[in-house]
Structure 1
């Protein structure tokens, strides 16, 4: 089936399983950059040719400048030297060049010795020259070159376009080199970053360094069967990628996207539910507070005037107080008017009496009738008035009053008229005074009622308290009007559809992977058991590995065991057996698998007996020569290496001397 046909078939299968149009499948996969084409990976062999180390060694062991080239065999290469003489550093420096970062095992003092590190390698068929310039243990300049063949690159450290030698990357720092190598190697090895959903809310990405863990085998005490990271299911993912199970990388990405999207959908729904619950709680709280505020306002309302505000009551009382004051002024003025009218009436009555009885009074009728001397203000007393009537002398100046009393009746009549007028005026003033007094009493009564009503209202709370209560009621009513009751959140149809599509894709890809794995794993199990037996794993009857890289061990005549329960030496031999089995089965079935490079540091130190070590070394040399496998091996046991390995595979330093 061609790639376009496979693409159509896969998207049709997903669309049918999810119950959606094919275009929807394409849209979802395109949105996340997911592949709809399941194609075999390219071959990814990794071969080392030469390592050059140059710098200046300090310390007690052969201090001074060095410039050492080390060449690797096609199959197994053993680096043999005494402990702490540089054999492990060879593996660590190869790792730094290829992985982009050094491991903790690379000693700081060793890095500080180095000025140049050159590695020549073939990566998935591409010749590459890794050139690092170091100062104080850090990269100050780095370049990765490529050329027509590996031989042309051997002595070259800078680009030479005339010879077809060009740079693939340049870096000016340790961090920059690490970042660029990760991208370069993933691309050249046809590998995708390994994604993993973290707590279903985010993704964790494992790049090229995680893959390199399947090349540089961990120590025997470590837990993973493949790689050097146990978390995020990485051992199983490395196994599936290097066995090239159909769409292993795509399946991982689809599952990760699906998990994150499902978690995001759940989180949004929970958030919406939480928001609705919070809104309901808030509305209930506001309702409760509004009820309490209304009760408080009712308790502060004046008795009988629940519909009248305290402000209105206060204004009414103030208006009535002013009206009472004005009415009091009117009454007082009316009272003064009445008193004047009464005085005038009394004077008119007296005058009538005087003019009736006294001719002198009749003579003086039209004159002044002062109450005091106009010059000295001395009061004219009753004695002077009596003298005026009896002796006919002026009450002011005491002179005798003389004249003719020509018309006593006219004077008397005029006096009577004046008395009638003043009496009428007195009666009118009295009436007005009584009316004013009635109005004062009426308004005073109203004022007293208003003040009593205001006092009754203020006896429950003062005006600021009621205003505050009224404001609280209005505020709470406004808050409730804005905070609407929560509505049920409808499902996001687009999100639900995308999750269905991703679920269907994950299910189909997982099924395809399982189907292929079922055919391959039987061969892999037999190969692992055969290799492990040859490497000296004792009493091994069979093994069973699954897609999660969990390895079951079936010893002869004993119960089933797990990989994690084996000794450190057995773990190391089983790891080597798994890597070689992947390589062999992959080659046998025509699928791209493990890069075919293994770095093994001091295997004899992994609780391994001499006989087992001899067997492992011999078998490794034989398998490497037969399986297109390149193995870099280190040991401090000179006798072991020389007794078990071909001479051309050994790179040996004199005992006690540095390897480089």
Structure 2
């Protein structure tokens, strides 16, 4: 397709939601079986209760006729439309909706009965204050589909009923006013069920978004319509984007040059002003650095305190060892001195028994022998021999004590230095913090710089060729080919069906009394071309010219309403004998 690989075509279709749906739809039949409503009419004449019940409806052509206008014909049909759409009060006139207190509509979809009942108080205008009940089936097999306020939930329930039962799927269309695709469901589809006087569209109440064409194709039952709608909508969206891209490229280049110069000058002035302000970033960096130094200073103080504690304990141990060594030295010296003294004593009597010592004993005894007991002294005195070693120990202990005190002093000095550094860092942090807080606010300048840079960037992108496309390079070609191929698949059948519809319309128009009508042709774009009396016009022109005959008096008594009954395809002609009359309440109580 379009000289593109099949995989690329499938990717484009997936991207834009285009799916193949070429099955011929199965015909579905919707028949309104009963329309009933009641209420209290109040006007200048007073209050009067009224009721309307149109029962026994079936296939064929039915009509509501009166002998004049403003008798309620349009209100009946608009009530039916409002109920089928789930949008109350719809297009019903406010005064009529104000009078009504009950509505009942029954209809069949392919033979399955559905019923809608709406109840409210007379005078209530808000749909949310009314109650709506939707049921499927007939007694005893009834399924309640909705029972609640007649608001948006009621509309969703009715939409679900018809979309499901009629086998419809939402379709997309492109809205040129907004350059965007929109999705349409039952509210748009149901508008094709009613023709509400002269308008721009034959099918549906809205002429934009190509809705009349899509609704005509949908209700005629053309295959490939959902595929065609998705592809054509995507194609229009891509074409619009492609056109915008081409128009954007180079359109404002001349004016952009001067504007860029102005913005650059403005940007330079703003940056110069910002540069004259204190450097906020540098201050923040200094504050972060001081925080890191404070953290290291805390670790240093903790380490110094540990050293002081250890040195203090070491000094105490050294003091204790030194005192012990000195005490031991003194004890040894005292012991040695006492032994020397006692060995040279010359007592005159025994200390134990006081017996007199023999004269000349001490002179006859060697100096190494005790004059009292005669024991020989050891070769050397232990205390006397230990004195030199203890004196060395005292000197070692004194040296260790001096070293421990020196280490303690060094640790204390380190602690004082660490604490002094911390105090200095804290003071510096306070000063830097005060300076940062007192900085002038540069937010407005930064915002102005950012805005100027953004405008410069926008101008640069607007004046430069578009480098990035919203869609791929093959999207446009693939979608154009898809639309052509899909249109070729259903166009012959559409032309054939529209020919049959045109012939049927021409026959019906003649049977309803339209004179001098030569041809009617319903074309694929939803327009009805009319040839009447050698003049060519459209259905809108014909309707405007025929409005004067829309309220002419019927050929039977005005106090009755009468349906025209015929087969599914051929209605009763205007010259047929009127069927049996059916009465409703007098006109004075009609809405």
> TM range, normalised to the smaller chain?
0.5 to 0.7
Q: 1:25 and 1:171, CA in 2 relative to 1: closer, same or farther beyond 3 A?
A: farther
1:146 positional shift = 0.7
Question: Separation in 2 of the partners of 1:207 and 1:80?
Answer: 32
Distance in structure 2 (CA, Å) of the matches to 1:114 and 1:609? 27
Name the stretch that deviates more: 129-138 or 180-189.
180-189
How far did 1:179 drift?
Answer: 4.3
Query: Per the alignment, in what secondary structure is the counterpart of residue 625 of structure 1?
Result: coil
Distance 2:64 2:553 in 1: 20
Higher mean Cα deviation, 199-208 or 33-42?
Answer: 199-208
Residues 513 and 176 of structure 1, relative CA distance in 2, 3 Å threshold: same
Matches of residues 145-544 of structure 1 in structure 2 within 5 Å? 145-147=135-137, 149=138, 152=139, 163-191=140-168, 192-193=170-171, 195-199=173-177, 201-219=179-197, 221-268=198-245, 270-271=247-248, 273=250, 488-490=465-467, 492=469, 495-544=472-521
Tell me what 2:125 maps to: 137
Distance (Å, rounded) in 2 between the aligned partners of 1:291 and 1:96: 65
What is the CA–CA distance in structure 1 between the aligned matches of 2:88 and 2:549, rounded to whole Å? 22
Q: Which residue of 1 aligns with 2:83?
A: 97
- Quickly say closer, same or farther: Cα 1:181–1:29, change in 2 above 3 A: farther
Aligned with residue 646 of structure 1, among 573, 579, 582: 579
Change (3 A) 1:195 1:282: same
Q: In structure 1, the residue corresponding to 2:193 is in which secondary structure?
A: coil
When residues 654 and 53 of structure 1 are mapped into structure 2, their CA distance, relative to the original with a 3 A threshold, is closer
Q: Is the 8 A contact 1:85 1:657 kept in 2?
A: no
Give the alignment partner of residue 28 of structure 1, picking from 8, 12, 21. Answer: 12
Is residue 81–residue 653 contact of structure 1 (8 Å, CA) maintained in 2? Answer: no
- In structure 2, the partner of 1:311 is none
Distance 2:205 2:50 in 1: 33
Distance 2:17 2:56 in 1: 40
- In 1: Cα distance, 2:466 partner to 2:93 partner: 59
Instruction: Tell me how far 1:118 sits from its aligned partner.
Output: 1.8
Question: Pairwise mapping of residues 546-585 of structure 1 onto structure 2 (< 5 A)?
Answer: 546-555=523-532, 558-568=534-544, 570=546
Q: Is the 8 A contact 1:543 1:552 kept in 2?
A: yes
What SS class does the counterpart of residue 495 from structure 1 fall into? coil
CA distance in 1 between counterparts of 2:460 and 2:188 reads 52
**1:127 maps to what in 2?**
113
Q: Could you list the runs of 5+ residues in structure 1 that have no partner in the other structure?
A: 1-16, 153-162, 293-474, 572-603, 612-616, 632-639
- Sort the Cα spacing of 1:165 and 1:642 in 2 relative to 1 into closer, same or farther, 3 A: farther
Instruction: Measure, in 2, the Cα distance between the counterparts of 1:199 and 1:105.
Output: 25
Instruction: Report SS of the residue matched to 1:242.
Output: helix
How far did residue 218 of structure 1 move? 1.9
Relative distance call for 1:172 and 1:654 in structure 2 (3 A) is: closer
Query: Which segment drifts farther, 180-189 or 532-541?
Result: 180-189
Cα 1:174–1:532 shift into 2, 3 Å: same
- Is the alpha carbon distance of 1:22 and 1:105 closer, same or farther for their aligned partners in structure 2, counting shifts above 3 Å? same
Secondary structure of 1:652's partner? coil
How far is the alpha carbon of 1:641 from its aligned partner?
10
Shift of the 183–500 alpha-carbon distance from structure 1 to 2, 3 Å rule, reads farther
Q: Does residue 1:656 correspond to 2:563, yes or no?
A: no
The answer as to whether partners of 2:172 and 2:183 remain within 8 angstroms in 1 is yes
Q: 24-33 or 59-68: which moved more?
A: 59-68
Is contact 1:193–1:206 with CA below 8 Å preserved after alignment?
A: yes
Equivalent in 554, 563, 569 of residue 627 of structure 1 = 569
Q: What is the Cα-based RMSD across aligned positions, in Å?
A: 4.3
**3-state SS of the aligned residue for 1:120?**
strand
Residue 29 of structure 2: aligned partner: 45
Does 1:70 find its partner at 2:46?
no
Q: Report deviation, 1:228.
A: 2.9
Matched with 2:3 is: 19
Secondary structure of 2:33's partner? strand
* Alpha-carbon contact 2:33-2:56 (below 8 Å) kept: yes
Distance change in 2, residues 1:61/1:145 (3 Å): farther
The structural deviation recorded for 1:202 is 1.4
Aligned 8 A contact 1:552 1:562 in 2: yes
Secondary structure in 1 matching 2:519: strand
TM-score by length of 2: 0.56
* Residue 547 of structure 1: how far off its partner (Å): 0.5
Q: 1:628 to 1:183 in 2, by over 3 A?
A: farther
State the distance in 2 between where 1:112 and 1:659 align.
14
The CA deviation at 1:226 is 3.0
Shift of the alpha carbon at 1:121?
0.8
Identify if the C-alpha distance between structure 1 residues 24 and 58 changes in structure 2 by more than 3 Å, giving closer, same or farther: same
Q: Structure 1 CA distance, aligned partners of 2:552 and 2:102? A: 36
Taking the aligned partners of 1:489 and 1:181, their CA distance within structure 2 comes to: 47
Return the alpha-carbon distance in structure 1 between the equivalents of residues 62 and 208 of structure 2: 32
Q: Deviations over 1:439-476 (max 9, x none)?
A: xxxxxxxxxxxxxxxxxxxxxxxxxxxxxxxxxxxx9x
The secondary structure found in structure 2 opposite 1:566 is: helix
Sort the Cα spacing of 1:508 and 1:169 in 2 relative to 1 into closer, same or farther, 3 A.
farther
In the alignment, the residues of structure 1 paired with residue 574 and residue 491 of structure 2 have an alpha-carbon distance, to the nearest angstrom, of 42
Secondary structure at 1:43 match in 2: coil
Tell me which residue corresponds to 1:367: none
Alpha-carbon deviation of 1:145?
A: 1.2
Indicate if the aligned counterparts of 1:551 and 1:562 stay in contact, CA closer than 8 A: yes
Partners of 1:104 and 1:199 lie apart in 2 by 25
Q: Which residue of 1 aligns with 2:357?
A: none
Deviation at 1:548, TM superposition (A): 0.9
Instruction: Look up the match of 2:103.
Output: 117
Maintained 8 Å contact 1:80/1:653: no
- Take 1:479 and 1:111, find their aligned partners in 2: how far apart are those partners? 60
Instruction: State the alpha-carbon separation in 2 of the partners of residues 609 and 86 from structure 1.
Output: 15
Aligned length: 395
Indicate if the aligned counterparts of 1:79 and 1:652 stay in contact, CA closer than 8 A.
no
Q: SS at 1:73's partner residue?
A: coil
